[in-house]
Amino acid sequence: MGPLSNSEVIKTLNENFVNTCVLLRDLSELIEGSDTERVSLFAKTLKDNYIYPVDIQVLSPEAEVIIHQPDNKLPDNRLRDDRVERYLMLLGAAAKGEIIDFSSESEESMPELDLSSSKELMEVLNVFRGPGDGYQDYTTVEIDATPFEQGGTLIIDIQVGEGEATGSFDLFAGDAELPTEGFPDDALASAWDISPSDTGQIRYPFTRGQRFKLGATGNWFCEKGSTNAFLARISVVPAKNEETERSS
């Protein structure tokens, strides 16, 4: 979602690639029903290499796979700027016929935190729904982190239920107006495309006590109106107080 709204990403795509977006359910029809053998070949290659839920694939003119990168495994899917940077790295390499493999990167690459000092803020059980392609239909969770005057790291552990919809979660500033359509450009951090029964996490460092809003919605690829439950456990690892450290 987010990287495709970046002007540099759009320019790179337009200058170096022939771009298309296709739903998995449409590939079988393209394979069997296309009047053009070339279209059928490309559709078959896409389907054979698809990885749920959203797969970025770059094919050669001969329909050979140069790269395929699951979008929800494109590190770091929590911080928007990192996702844009990684997306550009991926596209730049693919344009040269090279491969970048992000699959070995994981949560272990995240900055270490002393989780033993974390303070639980709240636990929320609620429901989100599919908004339809291009729209947002957020279930909103208000988060009050104002007691942490020196700031810290906000941690949101997310568990999606066993229902039909795939979840996407965006963190906003407390005074933000959540969008009802288009990309969530004002989101501070995100965790997208969390499949049913799967988990995800948002981490966001902040420098002063403040309020946040967590928006939970179905992603753009699930059926409009489909629903699922989610459990969000929200905590803060407080910033270390230098005065306290010196005195101890």
Closest CA to 115 of 200, 203, 210: 203
Strand order in the sheet with 199-206: 119-129, 227-238, 152-160, 199-206
Cβ proximity of 117 and 244 under 8 Å: no
Per-chain mean pLDDT for the chain: 83
The band of 243, judged by pLDDT with boundaries at 50, 70 and 90, is very low
Q: Note whether 24 and 30 are within 8 A (CB).
A: no
pLDDT reading at 242 higher than 60: no
What is the rounded CA–CA span in Å between residue 202 and residue 206?
13
Per-residue pLDDT reduced to its tens digit, 99-121:
776 655 544 445 567 777 889 99
Return d(Cα 73, Cα 55) in angstroms, integer.
9
Task: Note the maximum CA span of the chain.
Answer: 77
Contact 58, 17 (CB under 8 A): yes
Domains in the chain and their CATH numbers? 2-95 (no CATH), 117-235 (2.60.120.380)
Mind listing the pLDDT tens digit for each residue in 202-211?
A: 999 999 999 9
For residues 102 and 50, the model is more confident at: 50
pLDDT at 97: 77
pLDDT tens digits, 115-143: 778 899 999 999 999 999 889 999 999 99
Look at the chain and count its residues.
248
Can you give the pTM of this predicted structure?
0.63
